[in-house]
Amino acid sequence: MKTGFLALGIFALVLQIGSSHAQVPVPDTYGDAMRWYQKAAESGDPEAQFLYAQILERGLRGQQDRAEALKWYRAAAGQGHLQAQLKLARVYLHGDGAPRDLAESAKWYMAAATGGAPEAQFNIGLMFERGIGVAINPAQAVVWYRRAAENGVALAQRNLALMYAAGSGVAQDPEEALFWLEVAAGSGADVPDPVRTTIADGLTEDQQTAVRGRAEEWLAEHGKPPE
């Protein structure tokens, strides 16, 4: 494990010196590698800040320091680092490494969702639907469920279908509801048969056939997401 982090320390050195042609010695010990990580992080590189935070959190310098790790996760997240934003969102959601703060969790899920992270798009949609860390806002839930659904998140596809079925945050539309249920089922989500049957019963056979054909085309184009 330490050998791997020594190699990454060399990567941190490259981040730290940038395009400079100064003669800087390549780290040849584990301690040197850790120091170069710190230097790269202090120079403001968000990837180095994220990696240095992981080192501190895991105690790879000796003593685990989660408070200092949190500081560097925040530094990286503040510069738009998606993985750091997701990390902070989870930390504050679960109270793991910092006091639980649902509003702070929602803030970082929103940042990561805006940056294009499907997991964050689904979670902020769920938070808007249920009022977790934010005010309940079904319309915003639909917006973020849709983005996550289009990015292949099966649970978002299912939840979006249910929003269409109930007319919550969006005009009631049984065809769109059935479409996203079929996509969700094809993507691996658990979709109870009674739910699909109830929604399908509100459509003609021709409508059901057309919707299922559209869902099959969507799945063929986008593919089933990885497990």
For residue range 86-119, what is the model confidence (pLDDT) as tens digits? 999 999 999 998 999 999 999 999 999 999 999 9
pLDDT of residue 34: 75
Grade residue 121 by pLDDT with cuts at 50, 70 and 90.
very high
For residue range 156-200, what is the model confidence (pLDDT) as tens digits? 999 999 999 999 999 999 999 999 999 999 999 999 999 999 999
Grade residue 73 by pLDDT with cuts at 50, 70 and 90.
very high
Q: What long-range pairs does 15-20 form, CB within 8 A, spacing at least 24? A: 15/40, 15/43, 15/45, 15/47, 15/48, 16/40, 16/43, 16/45, 16/48
Gap between the Cα atoms of 132 and 100, Å rounded: 12
Give, to the nearest 10 degrees, the angle between helix 154-166 and helix 118-130. Answer: 30
Q: How far is CA 181 from CA 124, 148, 171, 207, in A?
A: 20, 14, 17, 14
Grade residue 63 by pLDDT with cuts at 50, 70 and 90.
confident
Of 57, 10, 18, residue with least CA distance to 35: 10
Grade residue 60 by pLDDT with cuts at 50, 70 and 90.
confident
